[in-house]
Amino acid sequence: MGKRRRMLQEEKASIVESYLSGEMGKTTIISRYGIGWTTVRDWVRLYETRGAEGLEGYGRYLRISPEIKNLAVQEYLEGKVSQSEICKKYDISSRSTLRGWIKWYNGHGCFKCVNSGGVANMSKGRDTTLEERIEIVSHCIANNKDYGKTIAQYNVSYQQVYSWVRKYENDGAEGLADRRGKRKDEASMTEVEKLRAQLKLKDAENLRLQMENDLLKKLEEIERRRGRS
C-alpha cells in the first residue's frame, strides 16, 4: 500500500463539516478517505475549539503552560472525564499528547521544569567515582529519568546526570568510565565490574518498566470504570 497523501486544511475542514452536518457518517468517512476514526475525532474537536484554522499543522507542538498541563492530567486521573473531553477543554492537540503528559506526571509529579524536574540546576558539578556514577544513573532510570530528584539526592548538576544517562544509553556501563587525565585507570573495567554495573542498571530499567506497566493498568481501570458508569 502506498503512502497516504497528506490532506490540506480545506480538505480536513470539508470532512469535519460533512460529519457535523450529518452528510457523512463515521463508516463512510473511514472507507472513503482511508483515515482512522481517532484522527477524525481529533479534527472535529480542533474544529469546534479553534475553527477551521485549527486544522492547519494538525498534531504540531503547541506551547501550553505547566499549570495547564498539571490541571489537565490531574482532572483526567480523577476518573470523571474522558481523554477527549480533557483535550477539548484545555485545547490539547491530541490524546497521544495528553497520554505523554500523564506518563511524565506519574514519573516526575509536576511540569515545573521539563529538563530538571523543577530543581534549579547547579552551576558546577562535582567529581565522582565510577561506582557513584553507576548508582546515580541507576537511580535516575529507576525513577523514570526524574533528573530533579536525582540532582537533589546526589548533589550533582543536571548537565552531569543528563550526560551520564546518555553515555549509558549509547555505550552501556562502560560509557560511564571517566577517560580523562588521572582517571584513565577507570577506562578499563574488569569483567566483574562490568557485570555488576550491568546488573544494577538492568534492575533499574526493569523497575522503570514496571512503573510504566502499573501506569497503563491504572489508565485502563479508569477507562473501564468510566465505561460502566
Q: Which CATH number fits domain 1-58: 3.90.1070, 1.10.10, 2.40.50, 1.10.3470?
A: 1.10.10
- Per-residue pLDDT of 195-212, as tens digits, reads 778 888 888 888 778 777
Mean pLDDT of the chain: 75
pLDDT at 5: 59
Banded pLDDT at 131 (limits 50, 70, 90): confident
What is 89-102 written as a DSSP string? Answer: HHT-S-HHHHHHHH
For the ranges 11-15, 202-206, 221-225, which has the lowest average pLDDT? 221-225
**CA-to-CA distance for 98 and 123, rounded, in angstroms?**
33
- Alpha-carbon gap, residue 221 to 226, rounded angstroms: 8
pLDDT at 12 > cutoff 80: yes
98 has a pLDDT exceeding 70: yes
* The pLDDT of residue 122: 41
The pTM for the full model equals: 0.43
pLDDT of residue 189: 65
- Position 184 pLDDT exceeds 50: no
Annotated domain spans of the chain: 1-58, 62-112, 130-217
Query: How many residues in the chain?
Result: 229
pLDDT average, residue stretch 56-84 = 73
CA distance 116 to 123: 13
